[in-house]
Structure 1
Amino acid sequence: MRTTLKRKAKKVDVELLTRFDANAWAEYEAVYENSWKPEEGDPDLLRAFAEQEGAAGRVRLAIGRHEGIAVAAQFWTVEDGIAYIHKLAHLEEHKALSAGTTLSAALFEHVMDTDKVQLIDFGTGNDPYKRDWMEEDRPRYRIDCLDPRQPKAWPALAKRIVTSLAPRSP
């Protein structure tokens, strides 16, 4: 990771904002929209959240540009000593620049050195890139409580039954 940063960070200009900026948000949305990521569920809600967090001084928005074009973007927030990584994306056609890695490094440095966070939360999911950054894996568990007497629980119960009957791959 360090050698990647040494070689490639010079090719990516990083803008790191600690307030909401409509122009930077538009770049973030454009990168996300054109990335490999699935379509955002409710972009208006996410923007409203970012605006609110920006007004409170908790937003950390980073845009990575190559030759003036936004090629990667990350949206984090910081609160009560914890940095939360909400969304990150890059353009596949610029993957070789490692702009996402460069942005992550800049944000990690900022939240640790300036914001003095004690924890960086990548959220849920087991994406391989997360292991590159973390010293410790903190599993999350979910408990579903389904009442078989309630008809609205039947589809979820049926799915679990069918899944349990299916053969597992080795």
Structure 2
Amino acid sequence: MQALDLASAAPFDRVEWFTLLEEEGGLRPFIALAAEGSHAAALPLMQQGGTLVPLANWYSFLWRPLATPGANQPALLEAIARDLSTKNSRMVLWPLPDEDRSATMLAAAFRAAGWVVIRQECDTNHILRLSGRSYQAYLASRPGPLRTTLKRKAKKLEVEIHSAFDPAAWGAYQEIYSASWKPAEGKPAMLRRFAEQEGAAGRLRLGIARHEGRPLAAQFWTVEAGTAFIHKLAHVEEAVPLSAGTVLTAALFERVIDTDQVEIVDFGTGNDPYKNMWMEETRKRYRLECLRPGNPACWPRLVRAGLRKLLRRN
């Protein structure tokens, strides 16, 4: 995996991320690798029962194959799929993007290696594509009620945005999160270490909104390769009348658009209605179930998949 420690397009592609999943998330990696000369491709996986699944958790926006620049990905992925057929009879891979053809390439590689592949949509990714707009141009395109809220409430709040890790700011984030409507943080030590790493690399954008000194809303973003990723957001109940979450979101949008000059803002997965206020596009995420037809344990799933296909045709 160290050979694949490349400049990435997302936090979830880096070796550091998989190391965090192992060391702080308690996951055990199973790395499938194929190489040809100086090029390589890899699938970061783990065992879940008798099934191979992505090395990922609920913090991951996406999961996809990794490869060195210039690698013949279709051939290398097929080699991985053939090798895995001697070790496992079932794999379930998600959430796969396909704007970069990850889902299509993987499905083709596993089919060519003799697997039966069932492809389904499993989630939606909300994004904003700036297309050269400034923050003010973007804001002018937002719904009227949102612009009115920002005009009325922004002056009542103090907003700070940290691009380096600050323990006091992180403490405020944790205080807000634990007092919010959100469920308890799954892996707080992992998230803090991720924030520390992103801060050290200059990619962190941690926003805190306060009213009269009291922290009311917090958001954890990162910026990388022209994309701003919105990882976590939370606010306390007292923040609602002041629209602290909305004001903080707008401040972070202004920062990443005008200062960081990102091309895309990525709001992760999930069809939460509030995302439509800020985002303008959606991208599908896919699930591939890969089965070895010669293994009797896979036959019931293959029969069910065949029946579903027949029913859809009728």
Query: TM-score under structure 1 normalisation?
Result: 0.85
Q: How does 1:1-20 map to 2 (within 5 A)?
A: 1-20=146-165
Q: Distance in 1 between matches of 2:296 and 2:200?
A: 43
Looking at secondary structure, tell me which structure has more strand per residue: 2
- Counterpart of 1:43, as a letter, is P
Change over 3 Å in CA distance of 1:68–1:141 after alignment to 2:
same
Q: Give the SS at the match of 1:144.
A: strand
Change over 3 Å in CA distance of 1:147–1:87 after alignment to 2:
farther
| Equivalent of residue 79 in structure 1, options 224, 229, 235 | 224
Q: CA deviation at 1:142?
A: 2.4
**1:28 and 2:193 are equivalent in the alignment:** no
Change over 3 Å in CA distance of 1:41–1:113 after alignment to 2:
same
Change over 3 Å in CA distance of 1:123–1:7 after alignment to 2:
same
Unaligned runs of 5+ in 2: 1-145, 309-314
Aligned to 2:214: 69
Contact 2:230 2:268 in 1 (8 A): yes
Q: Give the SS at the match of 1:3.
A: helix
Q: CA deviation at 1:143?
A: 2.4
Aligned-pair RMSD on alpha carbons?
A: 2.1
Q: Distance in 2 between matches of 1:18 and 1:95?
A: 26
Change over 3 Å in CA distance of 1:143–1:14 after alignment to 2:
same
- Counterpart of 1:57, as a letter, is G
Q: Give the SS at the match of 1:20.
A: coil
- Counterpart of 2:282, as a letter, is D
Q: How does 1:97-112 map to 2 (within 5 A)?
A: 97-112=242-257
Q: CA deviation at 1:37?
A: 0.7
Aligned to 2:237: 92
Change over 3 Å in CA distance of 1:146–1:21 after alignment to 2:
farther
How many residue pairs match? The answer is 157
- Counterpart of 2:197, as a letter, is Q
- Counterpart of 2:180, as a letter, is S
Q: Distance in 2 between matches of 1:74 and 1:109?
A: 14
Q: Distance in 2 between matches of 1:17 and 1:136?
A: 28
Q: Give the SS at the match of 1:19.
A: coil
Query: TM-score under structure 2 normalisation?
Result: 0.47
Q: Distance in 2 between matches of 1:145 and 1:7?
A: 53
Looking at secondary structure, tell me which structure has more helix per residue: 1
Q: Give the SS at the match of 1:138.
A: strand
Aligned to 1:53: 198
**1:140 and 2:267 are equivalent in the alignment:** no
Q: Extract structure 1 runs of 4+ deviating beyond 6 A.
A: none
- Counterpart of 2:260, as a letter, is D
Q: Distance in 2 between matches of 1:113 and 1:126?
A: 27
Q: Deviations over 1:89-124 (max 9, x none)?
A: 000232111111111101001101111100000011
Q: Distance in 1 between matches of 2:175 and 2:296?
A: 43
Q: CA deviation at 1:146?
A: 5.4
